[in-house]
């Protein structure tokens, strides 16, 4: 996910995922009676950037996504665009089945890309996060994020560092797990030249 608070010029949508996410944010904003200016002020981004997001011309970073979800009263996982693919819905479980090559391309070096994998009863969301390693130099941490959902992370591959902002940094290798309580500030970065790939499951208090 690209993370920026300013508006970058874009002549066309980034991809179908960005368009779907933007439409979801716009629909929720209108349902809650918020103007674009009010939502931008509440989340600390510029109104031009929010306009780009709603049109699918830009993606919010994870921290901005958490603030948008809080302002709109939904779990942050519900704002993630679902990749194209076949859905199997039964007993209230909406599962998105998509092969790896069907997903949007990963982000630029040092960036995070997120896909929603499944939406489960009780406000559970499963997502996949891919962190691209930096081309040169020390990889930078993403912006700090905190959200209302409890979060469980399983690292599929690569190496990952999670900074809790209190001097504690957890380093995970493939197969490692980390559970975070609701409201805990955290940020992460790839901790090796191969980047990382992880699956997270969040459980929120919001209804959706």
Burial 156-186 (b: 16+ CB within 10 A, else e): eebbbbbbeeeeeeeebeeeeebebeeeeeb
- What pLDDT does 204 receive? 63
pTM, two decimal places: 0.60
Distances (CA, A) of 201 to 34, 129, 155, 197: 29, 11, 12, 14
pLDDT digits (tens, 9 = 90+) for 70-119: 899 887 777 775 544 444 445 555 455 455 544 444 455 556 677 777 77
- Residue 206: which residues within 8 A CB-CB, separation 6 or more? 69, 73, 74, 75, 78, 123, 148
pLDDT digits (tens, 9 = 90+) for 134-164: 655 567 787 888 877 888 999 999 999 999 9
- What pLDDT does 51 receive? 93
pLDDT digits (tens, 9 = 90+) for 9-41: 456 777 777 888 899 899 999 999 999 999 999
What percent of the chain stands above pLDDT 70? 73
- What pLDDT does 192 receive? 82
Q: Which domains does the chain have, with CATH numbers?
A: 16-79 (1.10.260.40), 86-203 (2.60.120.10)
């Amino acid at each position: 996910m690209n993370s920026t608070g300013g508006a970058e010029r874009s002549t066309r949508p980034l991809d179908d995922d960005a368009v779907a996410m933007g439409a979801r944010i716009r629909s929720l904003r209108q349902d809650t009676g918020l103007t674009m200016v009010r939502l931008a002020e509440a989340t600390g981004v510029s109104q031009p950037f929010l306009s780009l997001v709603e049109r699918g011309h830009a993606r919010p970073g994870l921290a901005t996504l958490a603030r948008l979800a809080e302002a709109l009263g939904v779990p942050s996982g519900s704002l993630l665009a679902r990749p194209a693919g076949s859905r199997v819905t039964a007993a209230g479980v909406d599962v998105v089945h998509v092969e790896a090559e069907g997903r949007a391309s990963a982000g630029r070096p040092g960036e995070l890309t997120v896909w929603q994998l499944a939406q489960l009863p009780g406000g559970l969301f499963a997502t996949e996060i891919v962190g691209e390693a930096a081309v040169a130099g020390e990889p930078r941490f993403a912006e700090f994020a905190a959200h209302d959902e409890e979060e469980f992370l399983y690292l599929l591959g690569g190496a990952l560092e999670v900074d809790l902002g209190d001097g504690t940094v957890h380093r995970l290798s493939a197969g490692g797990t980390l559970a975070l309580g609701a409201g805990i500030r955290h940020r992460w970065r790839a901790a090796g030249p191969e980047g990382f790939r992880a699956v997270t499951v969040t459980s929120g208090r919001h209804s959706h």
